[in-house]
Amino acid sequence: MVDIVTARFSYPALDRPENRVRIRLNSTVVNARNTESGTELTYMHEGKAHKVRGKQAILACWHMIIPYICPDLPEKQKAAMHACVKVPLVYGSVQIKNWRALKSLGVGYTYCPGAYFSEVTMDFPVSMGDYHFTDSLDQNCVLHLVRTPCAPGQSARDQHRTGRYELYSTHYSTFEEKVQGQLGRMYGSGGFDPKRDIAAITINRWPHGDTYFQMPLWDGNVPEDRRINVVARQKFGNIAIANTDSGEDAETNYAIEQAFRATKELVA
Indicate if 155 and 253 belong to the same structural domain. no
Verify that 112 and 197 share a domain, yes or no: yes
Q: Is the domain of 93 the same as that of 65?
A: no
Q: What is the pLDDT of residue 234?
A: 97
The domain that holds 244 is classified in CATH as 3.50.50.60
Residue 194 and residue 130 share a domain: yes
Cα–Cα dist 54/34, whole Å = 10
- Is residue 59 one of the residues assigned to a domain? yes
The answer as to whether 4 is a domain residue is: no
User: Whole-angstrom Cα distance, residue 193 to residue 36?
Assistant: 67
Close Cβ partners of 57 (under 8 Å, ≥ 6 residues apart): 32, 39, 41, 238, 239, 240
CATH number at residue 194: 3.30.70
pLDDT digits (tens, 9 = 90+) for 17-71: 999 999 999 999 999 999 999 999 999 999 999 999 999 999 998 999 999 999 9
Residues 155 and 189 in one domain: yes
Query: Of the candidates 182, 99, 190, 183, which has an alpha carbon nearest to the alpha carbon of residue 140?
Result: 99
Residue 263 lies in a domain: yes
Please check whether residue 177 lies inside any domain of the structure.
yes
Q: How does DSSP classify residue 11?
A: G
Domain boundary among 210, 235, 252: 210
Closest CA to 90 of 172, 151, 154, 157: 172
The 10s digit of each residue's pLDDT in 88-128 is 999 999 999 999 999 999 999 999 999 999 999 998 888 88
CA nearest neighbour of 104 among 194, 198, 190, 192: 190
Residue 5, domain member (yes or no)? no
Residue 189 lies in a domain: yes
Query: What pLDDT shows up at residue 54?
Result: 94
For residue 251, is it within any domain? yes
Same domain, 177 and 102: yes
Can you count the helices (H) and strands (E) in the chain? 10, 10
Residues 59 and 94 reside in one and the same domain: no
Alpha-carbon dihedral sign for residues 71, 77, 80, 81 = negative
- Reference 33, options 88, 68, 71, 83; nearest CA is 71
Host domain of residue 25: 12-84+213-267
Residue 51, Cβ neighbours under 10 Å: how many? 9
What does pTM read for this prediction?
0.83
- Residue 45 and residue 132 in one domain: no
Residue that is last in its domain, among 192, 210, 228: 210
User: What single-letter DSSP state applies at residue 18?
Assistant: T
Q: How much is the average pLDDT of 166-187?
A: 96
Question: Which residue, of 210, 241, 257, is where some domain finishes?
Answer: 210
Count of structural domains, the chain: 2
Q: Are residues 127 and 177 in the same domain?
A: yes
Residue 24 forms part of a structural domain: yes
Could you tell me if 78 and 30 lie in one domain? yes
Q: Do 205 and 131 share a structural domain?
A: yes
Question: What confidence score (pLDDT) does residue 3 get?
Answer: 85
Contact 140, 118 (CB under 8 A): no
Average pLDDT on 199-205 reads: 97
Do residues 113 and 198 share a domain? yes
